[in-house]
């Protein structure tokens, strides 16, 4: 199909304009507003006790969520790709559930399950606080980030097939050795990308977490909750911008780190 | 010696192996030959332990390995599509089995270098599989399988993914390698020429059953049934019988043909046929013929005979079977 020069140009303008207005401008505004008063102001705003605590809590949640999702995500992907069993289709659908269910619904269901009056409320009444505590926030984050590793690893497993693993077994490797030496290196790209998505989503999750957090500054606020409370409750607009910038900064660093790490490994 | 006894394997309603029993002598190079779906790959994978049998047993050198996983069967396996470990160098690929067995580093390095020299990949130690050609990858896979000193070497259509020239070179190389290393080798192939070229024993499989086992000459000259005859080498239908094209003689004179034919027992008789085409194939000449019955067949005769006969398209000629290689026990149920 021949497209005239005019059409091509206007298509490009529309696409770029769309991305600019919807993505670049909002992020640009936050960055501009953050650094407008100078770097020292920004640092002061993100080093208040509440901000430090929020950063720590966000990183703690990521630190728990990522290993859990890696282990169970890879196991689930292996089950889905290699297993031949009834109910595989159902499992496929269940894995996608967090994509379909609104995070706020996740929060509500967690309260109904783990809250003082819920099915597992005995735990709460025994003094182990899940809801309005860190365990609840971790559970909510795991729920919403569960599909990422599975869905990134699955197609890679499909693609590599089973021949390399079978070759390893004929050469004397047992299941565990085959997994560590053959399967894991082969899926590392998919796994890396799954982890990056998990980290980004875990840092950015708001809806599910706000439902199960008590939201005390300096105690149970993640970075997203801090941005929200600074903006809505404290009318501290600048503080919200600064915390948001910090959030974006961490996500960016994670992305860069993972890319560098993998490039280094595949160069070997 | 590998012994398979009463092996059976079903995939749903499809029977891949139907009560197969087979002995493979130590030190032999045996080909499992058959069309796709004949069960030859399933049989090989069952020997390797990559496929579990529904019933039956497998023993390798007197040890019952039916319930052993592949890693405890003492085998080397080569896949059609190489199954190279893509994230490892050639050296690490070949060393894999030894690394798993935690052999001393120096011993492993020495063995790997030796093997790479044998397979002609000296100097490729630090390449990755993606940087090798198909033929090189398959030779690497062979070195990798041989590194663990397997009792048996199993090859699943090892040259199937390679182009014709490389395929011929590599199978002759495999034959020479086998003459040097003497490891019991089983090769799966659908290519009768390949089987005749490299193997000293051939088992012909069809529909999950073994039709005949024997050396190449026996199979070619005394096939057990029409299937084996048709699968190994080309055949012509002559008066309701299967005959090798080079076992058909052509005569100008019908009386001579009748006299000569009378000396051949159980011959299909003299068939009058029209020459459709004369195709010189170098040493031999192929004559495409159409019998009075309308059936088409081809005869393969020497250049000298062709020159004497001076055949031209459209002429009528008299064909008779010299009848050397024909089915020993003719079983009409197996006729193709």
Query: What's the pLDDT tens digit per position in A43-91?
Result: 999 999 999 999 999 999 999 999 999 999 999 999 999 888 888 889 9
Mean per-residue pLDDT of chain A: 90
Residues of chain B with a CB closer than 8 angstroms to some CB in chain A: 48-50, 69-71, 73, 75-77, 79, 81, 83-87, 96-97, 100-101, 141, 144-145, 147-148
Which chain B residues are Cβ-neighbours of A181 within 8 angstroms?
96, 100
Give the contacts of A204 (CB within 8 A, at least 6 positions apart). A224, A247, A251
Which residue out of B68, B73, B80, B100 would a mutagenesis test of the A interface target, given it has the greatest number of A Cβ atoms within 10 Å? B100
d(CA A110, CA A207) in angstroms, rounded, equals: 12
d(CA A78, CA A69) in angstroms, rounded, equals: 14
Contact present, B127 and B85 (Cβ < 8 Å): no
| Distance separating the N- and C-terminal Cα atoms of chain B | 34
Contact present, A80 and A154 (Cβ < 8 Å): yes
Which chain A residues are Cβ-neighbours of B79 within 8 angstroms?
163, 166-167
**pLDDT score, position B208:** 95
Partner-chain contact B101 A163, CB within 8 Å: no
Place of tokens 């090189």: B136
Partner-chain contact B96 A171, CB within 8 Å: yes
> Collapsing DSSP states into helix, strand and coil, what is residue B146?
helix
Closest CA to A227 of A70, A33, A87: A33
Point out the residue among B48, B85, B100 whose CB comes nearest to the CB of A164.
B85
CA of B95 vs chain A CAs: smallest distance (Å): 10
Which chain B residues are Cβ-neighbours of A186 within 8 angstroms?
86-87
**H or E stretch including A232?**
helix A223-232
d(CA A22, CA B330) in angstroms, rounded, equals: 81
Which chain A residues are Cβ-neighbours of B70 within 8 angstroms?
166, 169-170
**pLDDT score, position B306:** 87
Closest CA to B135 of B172, B110, B181, B87: B172
CA of B201 vs chain A CAs: smallest distance (Å): 24
CA of B60 vs chain A CAs: smallest distance (Å): 14
**pLDDT score, position B332:** 44
CA A209 to chain CA centroid, Å, is 13
Point out the residue among B77, B83, B87 whose CB comes nearest to the CB of A185.
B87
Which chain B residues are Cβ-neighbours of A172 within 8 angstroms?
71, 97, 100-101, 148
CA of A76 vs chain B CAs: smallest distance (Å): 23
Closest CA to A186 of A260, A62, A78: A78
d(CA B80, CA B171) in angstroms, rounded, equals: 13
Contact present, B138 and B174 (Cβ < 8 Å): no
Which residue out of A171, A178, A188 would a mutagenesis test of the B interface target, given it has the greatest number of B Cβ atoms within 10 Å? A171
Which residue out of A160, A161, A167, A268 would a mutagenesis test of the B interface target, given it has the greatest number of B Cβ atoms within 10 Å? A167
Q: What pLDDT digit, counting tens, does each position of B102-114 carry?
A: 999 999 999 999 9
Partner-chain contact A170 B77, CB within 8 Å: yes
**How many residues are listed for chain A in this entry?**
268
Residues of chain A with a CB closer than 8 angstroms to some CB in chain B: 163-164, 166-174, 177, 181-182, 185-186
Point out the residue among B69, B77, B101 whose CB comes nearest to the CB of A167.
B77
CA A124 to chain CA centroid, Å, is 27
Partner-chain contact B100 A170, CB within 8 Å: no
Which chain A residues are Cβ-neighbours of B93 within 8 angstroms?
none
Contact present, B47 and B58 (Cβ < 8 Å): yes
Q: What is the CA radius of gyration of chain B?
A: 24
CA of A181 vs chain B CAs: smallest distance (Å): 9
Give the contacts of A142 (CB within 8 A, at least 6 positions apart). A65, A68, A69
d(CA A225, CA A230) in angstroms, rounded, equals: 8
Contact present, B157 and B190 (Cβ < 8 Å): yes
d(CA A220, CA A75) in angstroms, rounded, equals: 31
**pLDDT score, position B333:** 44
Q: What is the pLDDT along chain A (268 residues), one digit of tens a residue?
A: 677 888 999 999 999 999 999 989 988 988 998 998 888 999 999 999 999 999 999 999 999 999 999 999 999 999 999 888 888 889 989 999 998 999 999 999 998 888 888 888 888 778 788 888 889 999 999 999 999 999 999 999 999 999 999 999 999 999 999 999 999 999 998 999 899 999 999 999 999 999 888 888 888 899 999 999 999 888 898 999 999 999 999 988 988 888 887 776 665 4
Which chain B residues are Cβ-neighbours of A182 within 8 angstroms?
85
Partner-chain contact A164 B76, CB within 8 Å: no
User: Cα separations (Å) of A106 from A92, A100, A140, B172, B235?
Assistant: 19, 11, 7, 65, 72
CA of B150 vs chain A CAs: smallest distance (Å): 9
| A·B CB contacts under 8 A | 60
* Beta-strand pair B201-206/B2-11: unpaired
Partner-chain contact B71 A164, CB within 8 Å: no
Partner-chain contact A163 B79, CB within 8 Å: yes
User: Cα separations (Å) of B105 from A33, A100, B116, B121?
Assistant: 60, 53, 16, 20
Which stretches of chain B drop beneath a pLDDT of 70? 323-336
**Per the structure block, which two tokens stand in for B262?**
């009378």
Point out the residue among A169, A177, A186 whose CB comes nearest to the CB of B70.
A169
Contact present, B208 and B56 (Cβ < 8 Å): no
Partner-chain contact A171 B100, CB within 8 Å: yes
User: What is the CB neighbour count within 10 angstroms for residue B96?
Assistant: 25
**H or E stretch including B238?**
strand B236-238
User: Cα separations (Å) of A144 from A54, A194, A200?
Assistant: 20, 13, 12
d(CA B329, CA B222) in angstroms, rounded, equals: 9
* B200: β partners: none
Which chain A residues are Cβ-neighbours of B140 within 8 angstroms?
none
d(CA B280, CA B299) in angstroms, rounded, equals: 12
């Amino acid at each position: 199909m021949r497209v005239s020069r005019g059409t091509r140009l206007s298509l490009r303008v529309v696409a770029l304009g769309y991305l600019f207005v919807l993505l670049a401008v909002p992020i640009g505004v936050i960055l501009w507003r953050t650094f407008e008063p100078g770097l020292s102001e920004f640092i002061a705003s993100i080093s208040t006790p509440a901000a430090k605590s929020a950063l720590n809590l966000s990183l703690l949640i990521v630190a728990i969520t990522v290993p859990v999702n890696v282990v169970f995500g890879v196991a689930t992907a292996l089950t889905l790709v290699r297993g031949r069993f009834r109910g595989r289709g159902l499992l496929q659908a269940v894995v996608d559930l967090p994509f379909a269910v609104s995070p706020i619904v996740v929060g509500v269901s967690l309260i109904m399950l783990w809250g003082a009056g819920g099915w597992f409320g005995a735990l709460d009444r025994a003094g182990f606080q899940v809801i309005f505590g860190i365990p609840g926030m971790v559970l909510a984050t795991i729920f919403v980030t569960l599909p990422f590793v599975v869905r990134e690893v699955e197609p890679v497993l499909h693609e590599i097939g089973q021949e390399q693993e079978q070759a390893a077994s004929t050469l004397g490797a047992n299941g565990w050795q085959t997994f560590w030496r053959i399967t894991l290196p082969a899926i590392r790209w998919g796994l890396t990308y799954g982890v990056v998505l998990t980290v980004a989503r875990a840092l950015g999750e708001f809806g599910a977490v706000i439902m199960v957090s008590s939201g005390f500054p300096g105690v149970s606020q993640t970075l997203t909750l801090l941005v929200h409370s600074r903006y809505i409750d404290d009318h501290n607009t600048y503080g919200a911008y600064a915390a948001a910038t910090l959030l974006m900064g961490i996500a960016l660093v994670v992305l860069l780190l993972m890319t560098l790490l993998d490039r280094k490994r595949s160069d070997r | 010696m590998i012994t398979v006894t009463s092996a059976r394997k079903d995939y749903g309603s499809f029977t891949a192996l139907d009560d197969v029993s087979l002995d493979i002598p130590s030190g032999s190079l045996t080909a499992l030959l058959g069309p796709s779906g004949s069960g030859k790959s399933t049989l090989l994978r069952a020997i390797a332990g990559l496929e579990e049998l529904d019933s039956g047993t497998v023993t390798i050198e007197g040890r019952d390995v039916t319930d052993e996983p592949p890693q405890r069967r003492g085998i080397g396996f080569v896949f059609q599509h190489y199954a190279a470990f893509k994230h490892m160098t050639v050296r690490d690929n070949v060393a894999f089995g030894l690394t798993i067995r935690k052999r001393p580093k120096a011993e492993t390095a020495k063995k790997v270098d030796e093997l790479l020299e044998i397979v002609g990949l000296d100097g490729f130690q630090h390449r990755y599989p993606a940087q090798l050609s198909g033929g090189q990858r398959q030779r690497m896979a062979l070195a990798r399988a041989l590194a663990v000193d397997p009792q048996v070497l199993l090859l699943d259509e090892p040259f199937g993914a390679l182009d014709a020239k490389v395929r011929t070179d590599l199978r002759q190389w495999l034959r020479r390698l086998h003459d040097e290393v003497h490891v019991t080798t089983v090769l799966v192939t659908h290519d009768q020429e390949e089987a005749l070229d490299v193997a000293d024993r051939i088992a012909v499989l069809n529909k999950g059953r073994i039709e005949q086992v024997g050396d190449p000459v026996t199979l070619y000259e005394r096939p057990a049934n029409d299937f084996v005859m048709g699968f190994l080498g080309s055949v012509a239908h002559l008066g309701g019988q299967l005959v090798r094209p080079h076992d058909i003689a052509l005569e100008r004179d019908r009386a001579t043909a009748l006299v000569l034919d009378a000396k051949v027992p159980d011959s299909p008789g003299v068939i009058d046929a029209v020459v459709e085409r004369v195709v010189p194939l170098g040493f031999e000449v192929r004559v495409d013929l159409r019998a009075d019955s309308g059936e088409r067949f081809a005869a393969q005769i020497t250049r000298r005979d062709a020159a004497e006969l001076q055949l031209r398209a459209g002429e009528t000629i008299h064909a008779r079977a010299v009848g050397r290689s024909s089915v020993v026990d003719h079983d009409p149920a197996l006729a193709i």
